Structure 1
């Protein structure tokens, strides 16, 4: 059995889809379907069973969960809303549940590959490498991820089985419709462009020109490839950046959407007060450690990835086929 927590979510459902492509359907999806829109992410997928995350978390915590032998756990489930400042909820959901599942996997010598976040680098003024000197949490979500990375690090010399944390940079691609304001700009701006003929980006801040803030944008297919690489190499453990190692401006990102549509322009709007001091104007993964671990599958060129995703937005409402 393969367990995918957050399996009805954005990255999790893409992992399940690729498992199906590889002929695997012995999959247990763990998720919260309070937001019923996520059903669309999994309705066409083939998996053995589904369990609500609260029931799963309780059973894991009480050590009563049993689904037979587990080949690997892809732990994607979390509250990923960086604007949610309920620290108590965030720590209970993202930190405590992850700790319990980590120990559950260690006791059973089950490989455990989990989602961390590039938000653990804060403003990024000290770089984006897997080093405590670079770490800074600007919100409860980032802190929940950072604290779990630090918790797991305490066990790095006594692990019973593989444990890999992947610090996702700015992931975009199909099956993110339910994320609303947390969805990628491709998702948000494609439909705006189709309706109004324009895309809106923030004016410059922190010394950056209009729309010139940068991100390490990574296609969700590449994120799945990184997850599977470590699954295929159970001898490797640690925390690794999951980004392309190349930063692109928001202007470049959105011009790829415009080039797909064959029309449109960018209009710049005032930077919102609520985001000042809480916004990453620049991210770029240091991929030295990832590549040093042998990852050699490469990354999809930005324009190619954007065009592929835009085609799904046009033809299939943004859901993977």
Structure 2
């Protein structure tokens, strides 16, 4: 059996989809469906069982619970960067992850987990998987960073397949439930449909309007990396998962407008509360990923946004009718 935590979320549900496409349905999906609309993410997927996160955490304390586990894809977390209840965040992201990690080691199961590029803070020291580059600036980022640190202590002393993925700016299908935290491609698409304009921030940090850059990575590429490590259990460590190329918000907006064959860009004033606390640039150093043996090319923004909008403006609405 394969376990996917956060399995009704964005990346988790896409991992389940990809496993299904491989013919794998012996999957335990773990989530916390307070937002019941997330069921639209998994209504077309095949799993063996569903379990609430709280029940799952309790069950893994039992040595007889699920003895035949091949792998755990741990995607579940409190992902709100605005959550400052440190006790809550550490309990959900750090303590939970530690317990699950040790459970996997005891079961000799692969443990692949979601870290985050947020551990690099404002990125002033670069985006390498290197302690010198890491300086989290919110509780979410700190919880991910500290778990990476814990994993680093264990890696030299265990043969278990343990892999952490520092996701950069992921976009793609099954993210509608994220609301304001959904990708810029999602928001630009809605704005062009409803207002014929994509709204971008004006320039900041010496950059021209809309020229802030991110490493935008399509969720299909993220999933492919996860499954590659499932197929290569001899690899372990912590890796950046991005394209390795920063592209501007203007490029994303223009790709959306080109897909719709209409629309324009409107630049809005840069928010005062974000000044001094905004990443104007991110770009993953994926040299570690390449050294591990993952050689597949990543989609650029134009290709990725086109693929996403083909899905978002057709099939997506049947899964999320309230989003029309």
Secondary structure at the counterpart of residue 157 of structure 1: helix
- Superposition RMSD in Å: 1.3
CA gap of 1:319–1:208, structure 2 versus 1, over 3 A, is: farther
* Structure 1 portions without partners, runs of 5+: none
Q: Which moved more, 1:216-225 or 1:68-77?
A: 68-77
For residue 145 of structure 1, give the secondary structure of its aligned residue in structure 2. Answer: helix
User: Cα distance 1:296–1:249, how it changes in 2: closer, same or farther (>3 A)?
Assistant: same
Deviation at 1:160, TM superposition (A): 3.5
Quick one: structure 1 residues 209 and 262, their matched pair in 2 at CA, closer, same or farther if it must change by over 3 Å?
same
Q: TM-score, normalised by structure 1?
A: 0.97
Cα-to-partner distance string for 1:108-130 (whole Å, 9 max, x where unaligned):
11110000000000111111000
Query: 1:31 aligns to what?
Result: 31
Once the two structures are overlaid, the 10-residue window that deviates more, 10-19 or 266-275, is 266-275
- Residue 222 of structure 1 deviates from its aligned partner by 0.1
C-alpha distance in 1, partners of 2:120/2:317? 30
Larger mean CA deviation between 270-279 and 207-216 belongs to 270-279
- Measured after TM superposition, the shift of residue 156 of structure 1 is 1.5
The worse-fitting range, judged by mean Cα deviation, of 90-99 and 154-163 is 154-163
Stretch of structure 1 that moved more, 273-282 or 143-152: 273-282
Change in CA separation of 1:318 and 1:284 when aligned onto 2, cut-off 3 Å: farther
Distance of aligned partners of 1:274 and 1:233 in 2 relative to their CA distance in 1, 3 Å threshold? same
Q: Secondary structure at the match of 2:314?
A: helix
- The residue number in structure 2 matching 1:98 is 97
Which residue does the alignment assign to 1:159?
158
Moved more, 221-230 or 292-301: 292-301
Deviates more, 1:274-283 or 1:202-211: 274-283
TM-score calculated relative to the size of structure 2: 0.96
**Matching residue of 1:139:** 138
Within a 5 Å distance, the mapping from 1:67-216 to structure 2 comes to 67-216=66-215
CA offset at residue 317 of structure 1? 2.6
Q: Secondary structure at the match of 2:158?
A: coil
> 1:308 maps to what in 2?
307
Which residue in 1 is equivalent to 2:222?
223
Q: Distance in 2 between matches of 1:173 and 1:270?
A: 27
Which residue number in structure 1 is paired with residue 50 of structure 2? 50
1:64 Cα deviation from its structure 2 partner: 5.0
Q: Distance in 2 between matches of 1:170 and 1:145?
A: 16
- Using the TM superposition, give the Cα deviation of residue 80 of structure 1 relative to its aligned residue in structure 2, in angstroms: 1.1
Assess if the C-alpha contact under 8 Å between 1:166 and 1:240 holds in 2: yes
Give yes or no for contact 2:110–2:160 (8 Å, CA) kept in 1.
yes
Matched residues in 1 for 2:274 and 2:158: separation? Answer: 39
Residue by residue over 1:139-196, the C-alpha shift from the partner in whole angstroms, topping out at 9 and shown as x without a partner, is 1110010000001101111114110000000000000011001100111121111111
Structure 2: give runs of 5+ residues left out of the alignment. Answer: 320-324
Deviations 1:209-253 (A, max 9, x none): 111110000000000000011111111110000001000000001
Q: Which residue of 2 aligns with 1:290?
A: 289
> Corresponding residue for 1:9?
9
Match of 2:22 in 1: 22
Asked if the contact 1:175/1:318 (under 8 Å) is kept, the reply is no
After superposing the two structures, state which structure 1 stretch, 205-214 or 163-172, moved more.
Answer: 205-214
CA drift at 1:319: 7.8
Q: Return the alpha-carbon distance in structure 2 between the equivalents of residues 79 and 183 of structure 1.
A: 15
TM-superposed deviation, 1:277: 2.9
Aligned match of 2:322:
none
In the TM superposition, structure 1's runs of 4+ consecutive aligned residues that sit over 3 Å from their partners are: none
Query: Helix, strand or coil for the counterpart of 2:62?
Result: coil
Q: Mean Cα displacement is larger for which, 45-54 or 185-194?
A: 185-194
Tell me how many residue pairs correspond in the alignment.
319
Deviation at 1:200? 0.5
* Aligned CA distance change for structure 1 residues 319 and 174 (closer, same or farther; 3 Å): farther
- 2: CA distance between counterparts of 1:250 and 1:70? 42
Secondary structure of 2:46 counterpart: coil
8 A Cα contact 2:67 2:107, kept in partner = no
| Residues in 2 aligned to 1:93 and 1:49: alpha-carbon distance in whole angstroms | 22
Contact (CA 8 Å) 1:107, 1:160: kept in 2 or not? no
Q: CA deviation at 1:33?
A: 0.6
